[in-house]
């Protein structure tokens, strides 16, 4: 057993407008699947975390440049990212859905011609939008956080947004006035990430801790808590 005084603190960057993975609760404390998994894993493995709410793309940049030790933010494990990051074992999955304003009448990608689509900078949703924008003839508008993305659709500037399915469904369940109109596309697993080749001891502890939480039922409890309950 490691003594508290000897525990190392790791800087972990995240994206705090991303429920049910990471968000601030009514007491302004960061909670969600990612935060609870990380905290439980840190407790099991004997390390400390300093969680910084920098936003998704900023987290990608800070981990890539070595200014943060790791990131956890419902991050999709993609081949492209594996060039720059080492990922933990997966703890969830994410696919991209298209959502429109409730009552807008837009039902499919083919109705986006000449319209705007809102996405979050540096995300799988943004990559997806870029990969199909020529085919469907829409324009892309980017935001740093998911709230900016949703607001752009609600205020009518963008006709649609692309977002991770679990996140979109969670927001709608909690009262956001959007509607999902497509099935999840480009589904990948999600994981904790460190810079490629760096912080390998942290990655190893994350994987060991995650395996323990999966074995002792804590993992299922955390997932259930944030996918079945209300915010
Ligand atoms: N899963 C998406 C990605 O990794 C979105 C993550 C996020 O917005 N926090 O790109």
- Tell whether ligand 1 has an atom less than 6 A from the beta carbon of residue 56: yes
104 and 136 assigned to the same domain: yes
Which residues touch 117 (CB under 8 Å, ≥6 apart)? 129, 133, 138, 139, 140, 141, 158, 159, 160, 161, 162
145: left (phi over 0), alpha (psi -120 to 50) or beta: beta
158 and 83 assigned to the same domain: no
Q: Residue 127 belongs to what domain range?
A: 95-187
Q: Using one digit for the tens of pLDDT, what is the confidence trace for 129-176?
A: 999 999 999 999 999 999 999 999 999 999 999 999 999 999 999 999
Instruction: Among 21, 85, 120, say which to mutate for ligand 1: greatest number of ligand atoms within 8 Å of CB.
Output: 120
Instruction: Answer whether residue 231 shows pLDDT above 50.
Output: no
50 and 82 assigned to the same domain: yes
- Tell whether ligand 1 has an atom less than 6 A from the beta carbon of residue 34: no
Q: Using one digit for the tens of pLDDT, what is the confidence trace for 103-133?
A: 999 999 999 999 999 999 999 999 999 999 9
Give how many domains the chain has, as a whole number: 2
Measured by CA distance, the residue closest to atom 5 of ligand 1 is 123
CA of 188 to the centre of ligand 1 (A): 11
Which pLDDT does position 6 carry in this prediction? 82
196 and 121 assigned to the same domain: no
* The ligand 1 atom nearest the CA atom of 15: 9
* The ligand 1 atom nearest the CA atom of 124: 10
Q: Using one digit for the tens of pLDDT, what is the confidence trace for 45-101?
A: 999 999 999 999 999 999 999 999 999 999 999 999 999 999 999 999 999 999 999
Q: Using one digit for the tens of pLDDT, what is the confidence trace for 195-229?
A: 999 999 999 999 999 999 999 999 999 999 999 85
123 and 83 assigned to the same domain: no
87 and 99 assigned to the same domain: no
How many whole angstroms separate alpha carbon 200 and alpha carbon 49? 16
- Tell whether ligand 1 has an atom less than 6 A from the beta carbon of residue 17: no
- Tell whether ligand 1 has an atom less than 6 A from the beta carbon of residue 35: no
135 and 183 assigned to the same domain: yes
40 and 59 assigned to the same domain: yes
151 and 178 assigned to the same domain: yes
164 and 208 assigned to the same domain: no
Q: For the domain that residue 77 is a member of, what is the CATH number? A: 3.40.190.10
83 and 164 assigned to the same domain: no
- Tell whether ligand 1 has an atom less than 6 A from the beta carbon of residue 75: yes
18 and 83 assigned to the same domain: yes
């Amino acid at each position: 057993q490691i003594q508290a005084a000897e525990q190392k603190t790791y800087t972990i960057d995240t994206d705090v407008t991303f429920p049910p993975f990471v968000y601030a609760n009514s007491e302004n404390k960061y909670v969600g699947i990612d935060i609870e998994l990380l905290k439980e894993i840190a407790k099991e493995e004997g390390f400390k975390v300093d969680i910084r709410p920098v936003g998704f793309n900023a987290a990608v940049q800070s981990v890539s440049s070595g200014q943060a030790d790791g990131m956890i933010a419902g991050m999709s494990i993609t081949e492209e990212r594996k060039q720059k990051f080492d990922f933990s074992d997966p703890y969830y999955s994410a696919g991209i859905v298209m959502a429109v304003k409730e009552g807008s009448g837009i039902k499919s990608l083919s109705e986006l011609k000449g319209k705007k689509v809102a996405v979050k900078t540096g995300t799988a949703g943004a990559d997806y939008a870029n990969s199909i924008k020529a085919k469907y003839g829409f324009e892309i508008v980017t935001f740093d956080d998911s709230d900016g993305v949703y607001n752009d659709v609600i205020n009518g500037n963008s006709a649609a947004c692309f977002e991770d399915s679990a996140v979109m469904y969670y927001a709608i369940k909690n009262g956001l006035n959007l509607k999902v109109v497509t099935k999840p596309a480009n589904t990948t697993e999600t994981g904790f990430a460190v810079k490629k080749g760096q912080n390998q001891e942290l990655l190893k502890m994350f994987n060991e801790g995650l395996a323990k939480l999966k074995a002792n039922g804590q993992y299922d409890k955390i997932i259930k808590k944030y996918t079945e309950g209300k915010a």
